[in-house]
Amino acid sequence: MSTTVYTTMESPFGPLLLSGVLPEDGGPAALATVTAPGQKYALAEPADDWVRDPEALAEPVAQLTDYFAGKRTGFDLPLAPEGTEFRRRIWAALDEIPYGTTVTYGELAELAGQEPRMVRAVGGAVGANPLLIVRPCHRVLGASGALTGFAAGVDRKRWLLDLEGGTLF
């Protein structure tokens, strides 16, 4: 049975809660969640059976710190988010959106091999993304270019897009 570890880190959004899964055979923890204070549909506190282990999550903390400082444009981490096959497909498509660019929910659906008319289902999967920032759900906009929904708040979405120097269409 694997162990879930966690740590917190300071960020421009306040303290982020990171969790990861330690593989049974050793090796680095695979990042499972990154959540911000007040984020919808996310744990605000570690689960009772999680073990505090800042060392196991030192690399994700370092990469997020560099991202917030404008020194990193992507992440290179083992990931272990839990979700349905459909959600995992949408989340993998999020990884294909380049730093500093945006797509619509319809375009994201196409990236994931889905029909563009599936924007509501795609939006639900994006909203359930457990890896805030690392999986760049902030780069997805409404069809008109509007800053629609972001589980951590639209102001934070705008901040991330401004950090990346992205253009809104």
Q: Kindly list the catalytic residues.
A: 137
Q: What phi and psi values does residue 29 have, to the nearest 5 degrees?
A: -70, 140
Q: Hey, what amino acid is at 81?
A: P
Where residue 70 falls (left for φ over 0; alpha for ψ -120 to 50; beta otherwise) is left
**How many Cα atoms sit within 13 Å of 21 on the Cβ side?**
13
